[in-house]
């Protein structure tokens, strides 16, 4: 089965056609895509990641500055990428670099109704942090992949905002609490942000785990694959952040699926503790929110 046919089966042909248009103009910086590709390759070394990142001096400086922030409590200052990668590892440096590059998508643009790009960015980072916290508490070993999946889960929204803005305005102005965001998107566009994001994830060669979270973060019960625990973590984190007032579009339009919480072995008390601890984590990682 071809890549296009595979993507069509997952996302739907309207989303695939729209994704092709966005893919052709390279919305994400090539350095970000290269960083994801290198870090996801089990044969890559620290030198490979360093080489890719050095192609963007400003990005390298941003990552080093973040590593030297109070969040990591270093006793001595990190002065170069080699030291940073040695200290934090490929996956965490990848996450910092992708966070820095993806944040550039949110720097311009006015709000529409309850929606603000800066609030969507806060939602994405919050979900990434919350999902990682949950994964660590559940002893899911690939917790840095969980963060990346959480960070990217709603990337379809910002790209619809940017590339189909007139329709996006219509979507936001049509939102009602009786309908989900993706139902409203589908009625206006013929596709929704999860389908669109999944199609782009395929075209941009995102890790399979991130692509799964993008496609199934509203319905992990429908996912059949090896990354089910990761997808469930992102779905629960998405719910918790939204309930804490950090929604993607300024309104709570989620449908709660208790089976996802049950499948992770979580109790109501666990969720309350996680939600409370998230505030401290977001404060400690405040540098990630800066755009």
Cα–Cα nearest to 263, from 236, 244, 238? 236
Q: Does the pLDDT of residue 165 top 60, yes or no?
A: yes
Rounded Cα gap, residues 29 and 211, in angstroms: 18
Per-residue pLDDT of 132-164, as tens digits, reads 999 999 999 999 999 999 999 999 999 999 999
The yes-or-no verdict on residue 9 having pLDDT over 60 is no
**The whole model's pTM is what?**
0.91
* Residue that is written with structure tokens 């090896």 in the block: 226
Helix, strand, or coil (residue 115): strand
How far apart CA 237 and CA 131 sit, in angstroms, is 5
What is the number of residues in the chain? Answer: 291
Cα-Cα-Cα-Cα torsion 184, 189, 192, 195, nearest 10 degrees, comes to 160
Say whether pLDDT at 121 is over 90: yes
Any idea which residue has 């006793």 for tokens? 75
Q: Which pLDDT score, from 0 to 100, does residue 1 have?
A: 34
Residue 271 has pLDDT above 80, yes or no: yes
Domains of the chain, start order: 3-289 (1.10.3210.10)
Tokens standing for residue 226: 């090896």
Asked if residue 107 has pLDDT above 70, the reply is: yes
Average model confidence (pLDDT) for the chain?
A: 90
Give which of 111, 113, 145, 117 is closest to 131, Cα–Cα. Answer: 145
Residue at token pair 């109704």: 113
Alpha carbon distance, N-terminus to C-terminus of the chain: 40
């Amino acid at each position: 089965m071809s890549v296009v046919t595979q993507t069509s089966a997952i996302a739907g042909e309207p989303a695939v056609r729209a994704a092709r248009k966005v893919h052709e103009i390279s919305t994400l910086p090539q350095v970000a895509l290269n960083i994801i590709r290198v870090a996801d390759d089990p044969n890559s070394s620290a030198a490979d990641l360093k080489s890719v990142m050095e192609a963007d001096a400003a990005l390298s400086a941003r990552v080093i500055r973040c590593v030297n922030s109070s969040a990591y409590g270093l006793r001595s200052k990190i002065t170069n990428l080699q030291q940073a990668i040695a200290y934090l590892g490929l996956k965490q440096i990848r996450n910092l670099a992708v966070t820095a590059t993806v944040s550039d998508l949110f720097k311009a643009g006015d709000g529409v109704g309850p929606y603000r790009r800066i609030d969507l960015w806060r939602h994405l980072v919050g979900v990434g942090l919350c999902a990682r916290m949950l994964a660590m508490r559940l002893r899911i070993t690939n917790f840095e992949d969980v963060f990346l999946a959480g960070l990217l889960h709603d990337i379809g929204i910002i790209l619809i905002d940017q590339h189909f803005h007139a329709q996006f305005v219509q979507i936001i102005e049509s939102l009602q609490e009786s309908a989900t965001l993706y139902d409203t998107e589908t009625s206006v566009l013929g596709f929704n942000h999860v389908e669109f994001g999944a199609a782009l994830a395929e075209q941009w060669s995102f890790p399979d785990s991130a692509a799964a979270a993008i496609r199934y973060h509203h319905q992990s019960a429908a996912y059949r694959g090896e990354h089910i625990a990761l997808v469930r973590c992102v779905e629960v984190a998405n719910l918790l952040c939204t309930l804490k007032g950090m929604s993607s579009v300024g309104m709570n339009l989620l449908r709660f699926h208790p089976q996802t919480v049950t499948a992770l072995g979580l109790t109501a008390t666990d969720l309350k503790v996680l939600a409370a601890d998230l505030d401290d984590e977001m404060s400690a990682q405040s540098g990630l929110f800066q755009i």
